[in-house]
Chains A and B, each alone.
Chain A
Amino acid sequence: MQKNWWKALCILLLLYTCSYGFFVEVPNPPGVPLKQTIRNLFFHVPMWIGMMVFFSVSVYYSIRYLRHLQPADDIRATEFARTGIVFGVLGLLTGMIWAHFQWGKAWSGDVKQNGAAIAVLMYFAYFVLKGSVQDEEKQARISAVFNVFAFFMLFPTIWILPRLSESLHPGGMGSEGNPGLNPRDTTASMRMVMYPAFLGWTLLGVWISTLRVRVRLLSVQS
């Protein structure tokens, strides 16, 4: 039970996010037409935060696999990458819903949208690569190397490129904030929900990943 405290924390934070997240006062400054949709900060943005965390964990285990060649590390890297893709696709879909009502089109070719889509596609390629190699050790080695490559492409596509041109997202050329957030849209009381939301959704993904890892390890042992 002692090592499960973070699961209880995850449940608490998510219940807090999904209830108080709707009642917290949001700013409505003139010239910013976000209105109530800024509450998506508690649901859409955490998907990307989670995705980055899972891909980071995944590349950590890939490098560990390359150093020690333990099959368990390859399993961990694979399952965290899988959860990362799920969160990334959810981030794309929720972003498209938001964009449809905010920017008029679900996909307007915004640099951030394109970059995020490329990032997710690269990780699809990781699984294509895994599926195309029969030999288990070869598969683990090649995919681990590819994972390192994909990880170092991930941050340029979602953080650096969107900054270099004009973007509908915050943080593009000539707009405030970083590619994730615009400080003008948030208040101190909103951040009291936002950071717990980031942590809560990320912990949920970690939980799901560890369940998958445990099942895979069980099936390898038997």
Chain B
Amino acid sequence: MQAIKSIVIVVFSLLTSVVLLAQDAAVQPENVFTSNGKLGVVVAVLVTILAGIIFYLVSLDKKISQLEKKK
């Protein structure tokens, strides 16, 4: 009886620690977006804006090139 009790306690405590670990992993998946105070999110936004502006410039460049060819 005593042995079963201690096994249950050990297994249970192992489980809680597993649960806690899992929670830890779920709340704080350390990647480039969540580390450093979620700075990565701002970087992603900035890069998106930059990509948009560059796309706009490239298409403008192409349009002007077409006009130049028509001459």
Contacts and interface: CB of A to CB of B under 8 A. Distances in A.
A132 interface: no
Contact of B64 (A11, A19, A211): A211
Given A214-B68, A218-B67, A14 B50 contact: yes
A214 B42 CA distance: 35
Contacts of A101: none
Contacts, number: 39
A12 to B, nearest CB: 10
Interface string B42-53: 110011001100
Q: Is chain A's binding surface mostly helix, strand, loop or mixed?
A: helix
A221 interface: yes
B60 A22 contact: no
B22 to A, nearest CB: 28
A216 to B, nearest CB: 11
Nearest to A21: B43
Contact of A15 (B36, B50, B71): B50
B57 interface: yes
Interface in A5-30: 7, 11, 14-15, 18-19, 22-23
A215 interface: yes
B61 A7 contact: yes
Contact of A18 (B32, B46, B60): B46
A14 B54 contact: yes
Contacts of A211: 57, 60-61, 64
B46 A221 contact: no
A18 B42 CA distance: 10
A76 B38 CA distance: 44
Contact of A221 (B43, B50, B61, B71): B71
A215 B71 CA distance: 13
B39 A215 contact: no
Contacts of A221: 71
5 contacts: A18-B46, A207-B61, A208-B57, A211-B57, A221-B71
Q: Which 10 A-B pairs have the closest CB atoms?
A: A214-B64, A22-B43, A18-B46, A11-B54, A18-B50, A19-B43, A218-B67, A18-B47, A19-B47, A22-B39
